[in-house]
Amino acid sequence: MSAPLSFNILARDGKARRGAITTAHGRFDTPAFMPVGTAGALKSLTPEQVASTGTQIVLANTYHLLLRPGPSIVAGLGGLHRFMQWNGAILTDSGGFQVFSLADLRRMDDDGVVFRSHIDGASITLTPEVSIAVQNQLGADIIMAFDECPPLPADDAALSAAVGRTVRWARRCKQAHGDQPQALYGIVQGGLNIGLRRSCLADLVDIGFPGYAIGGLSVGEPPPEMWSLLDDFADDLPGDRPRYLMGVGTPLDLVHAVSSGMDQFDCVLPTRNGRKGYAFTSTGVVRLRNAEHRLSREPLDAACDCYCCRWFCRGYLRHLFQIGETLGGTLVSLHNIAFYQRLMSRMRTEIDRGSFAAWKLAFLNGPLGCPAAAAPNHPG
């Protein structure tokens, strides 16, 4: 049986890496941003629209698909790719982040987590074995180990306990996965404690995974603390394997993380903020509900060639949000994903050229180079 994933590094500039990952459903270039299709759909967008932005891989969520429609239904309808009509690569997360965000609805021990469905209150048990079985049924190209994701700030005792449980669950996940034709990534926990991160990583490398993720960041800590942790730790991850930073982030976060040596990213920010009329542009952030755009004939971003920017002016987009028309969220979400993909493409080009460091400095001095430019962040 051929390997479910291959990874090639094509260029380096400092710690930043330019590469390509090949899966059974095609290749995607790294650094890569994966838009989030939580329940098997990117809200208000068709797969064709998403592909038009340059997106090569998307993410779906195990927790939500477990609840509705259920993995057996997805499998019975041809698997996740056919179910959502996405022809490229798909990654599913383990459901761990969503479960651990439901603190008032769950009970956790070393076996797994028992939680109540936010839909109908039904009691559901999610263990490492169940998470892997669900992801195997869904049929994504890349799947994630079930882990414990503690919120930050957290004391070292809580972080150490989460690391221990994450490692024990990772062993069970790998055993449960067996020789299924999917790439199973391990997830490194440890909060902002670099010693715990390194201990967790050493244990995961000993177990052996085709890719490694950093989890438990962007969960309450100030962004500069996350950037510092990444700068000190990201390059410790195995150099010949993909490196995935989970749930991150803003354009500024992505630039810092790529500079630290990370390869894959996901976040709901471009679509969730897009549905609220908040756009990322080459000249800074644009809040379309503001009255200043009422008579504007300008495109959302003159430097963007997405469908939204080619055909619609800011005045019209503002009108859509003022009347509650869902087309507004569709168009701005489409633009925001295109903006993110263009940012990733630009970083890949700069790494190829050996000019990433100079480009990063210019970006940090530009309109999106300060943390305030990224707000509001609506985490998912």
pLDDT tens per residue, range 312-330: 999 999 999 999 999 999 9
Over 80: is that where the pLDDT of 101 sits? no
Beta-carbon contacts of 189 under 8 Å, excluding residues fewer than 6 positions away, are 147, 148, 149, 150, 159, 162, 163, 166, 196, 197, 200, 215, 216
The pLDDT tens digits for 18-41 are 999 999 999 999 999 999 999 999
Judge whether residue 107 has pLDDT over 90.
no
Distance CA(308)–CA(335), nearest Å, equals 6
Q: What local confidence, expressed as pLDDT, does residue 151 receive?
A: 83
Would you state the pLDDT for residue 132?
98
CB neighbours of 66 closer than 8 A, spacing ≥ 6?
Answer: 95, 124, 126, 134
Q: Give 280-342 as a DSSP string.
A: EETTEEEETTSGGGTT--SBS-TT--SHHHHH-BHHHHHHHHHTT-HHHHHHHHHHHHHHHHH
The pLDDT value recorded for residue 375 is 53
Q: Which of 13, 147, 253, 266 is catalytic?
A: 266
Does residue 270 have a cis peptide bond before it, meaning omega lies within 30 degrees of 0? no
Instruction: Clarify whether 235 is annotated catalytic.
Output: no
Cis peptide before 249 (omega within 30 of 0): yes
pLDDT over 90 for what percent of the chain? 87
93 is catalytic: yes
Nearest alpha carbon to residue 148 among 134, 160, 135: 160
Return the pLDDT at 376: 53
Residue 374 reports pLDDT greater than 70 = no
Token duo for residue 359: 């480009």
Q: Which of helix, strand or coil describes residue 188?
A: strand
Of 93, 141, 147, 203, the catalytic one is: 93
Collapsing DSSP states into helix, strand and coil, what is residue 56? Answer: coil
When the candidates are 3.90.280.10, 3.40.50.1860, 3.20.20.105, 3.40.50.2000, the CATH number that belongs to 5-267 is 3.20.20.105
Give the least confident one: 130-134, 218-222, 272-276, 369-373.
369-373
Mean of all residue pLDDT scores within the chain: 94
Instruction: Judge whether 281 and 339 are in contact, CB under 8 Å.
Output: yes
Q: Where exactly does CATH 3.20.20.105 map onto the chain?
A: 5-267
Q: What is the pTM of this model?
A: 0.96
Residue 209: how many CA atoms within 13 Å on its side-chain side?
Answer: 31
**H-helix or E-strand spanning residue 276:** none
- Judge whether residue 380 has pLDDT over 80: no
Read off the pLDDT of each residue in 364-369 and give the average, rounded to a whole number. Answer: 93
Cβ proximity of 286 and 304 under 8 Å: no
Average pLDDT over residues 275-282: 97
> pLDDT by residue (tens digit) across 334-343?
999 999 999 9
